[in-house]
Amino acid sequence: MSRPEDLLPPDLFYNDTESAKYTTSSRIRQIQASMTNRALDLLNLSEPSFILDLGCGSGLSGEILGSAGHTWVGMDISPMQRHDRQLQDKANGHTDTDGMDSDDVSEDDSSEDDGGANGDLLLADMGQGLPFRPGAFDAAISISAIQWLCNVEDTSASSHSADARLRRFFDSLYVALKRGGKAVCQFYPKNDAQRTMISQAAVRAGFGAGILEDDGGTKNVKVYLVLSVGGGDITGVVEGWEGVDVEDGRRVREAKMKGGRNAAKKGGKAWVLGKKEKMRAKGKVVKDDSKYTGRRRGPKF
């Protein structure tokens, strides 16, 4: 079965039909609510906060954020918010939303039972960066969205590559969160390579990053990327993380800098030994090490 992100770009895939599924399917709403509540638990916020909902879709996560006492702003590349609002207005007997832009939806023009679409909404592409001022948000969540950043149509331009989109997203998210802020991104990686690419992009941006799996080893596995601004051990931010794969952005960068200063000189003995070890790890046959390994040879006559 094909993954949604392999079929169409998100702004085309999440059309009126897909939006109706999110609005009317009790199963989808239940799964979305469960993952959003899990993200809130991992954020472990002690007071009402200003939260950025990335890939907010039709506002199901926003409804939960609002009911928990938080103020939220949603961002999505697809106008699902508009479709969802129109469907609900029709169900409630309202027809005055024709031609309404997603940017026009705000808390002031929402009804009490509008399914949570009462936050400020921004129609924009996360892969082009987040257009928010530094330190604007206390926290951020993203449910089933960031894997879409790895799918690009134009692979000929480096600025459109998955690496470039992930870099712009995580760099700008790091800036948008206040010092000590946290983010939880639930996503469905296509494979281990994509999972690693996403987590490493977060680490390079400066986040302390930890990956947590719920229902690991099953077809219902849920992957959560938990991020902390300022680096540091993420296990100190979220308690109860026995056996969690943890990465620290600052330590990774410091290790790279240290490695750059102390890197073996190309052509030297340490460099040659390192190359031979890598070749052995790949199963290739190399000569045994000896006292002559890496030794400079004299001129040939």
Has residue 135 got a pLDDT over 60?
Answer: yes
Has residue 297 got a pLDDT over 50?
Answer: yes
**Confidence grade of residue 184 (pLDDT, cut at 50, 70, 90):** very high
pLDDT of residue 88: 45
Residue with tokens 């530094």: 134
- Residues in a beta bridge with 122: 75
Share of the chain above pLDDT 90, in %: 26
Half-sphere CA count of 141, side-chain side, radius 13 A: 31
The burial class, CB within 10 Å (0-12 / 13-18 / 19+), for 276 is middle
pLDDT of residue 182: 93
Has residue 16 got a pLDDT over 60?
Answer: no
Give the model confidence (pLDDT) of 28-52 as tens digits: 788 889 999 999 999 989 899 999 9
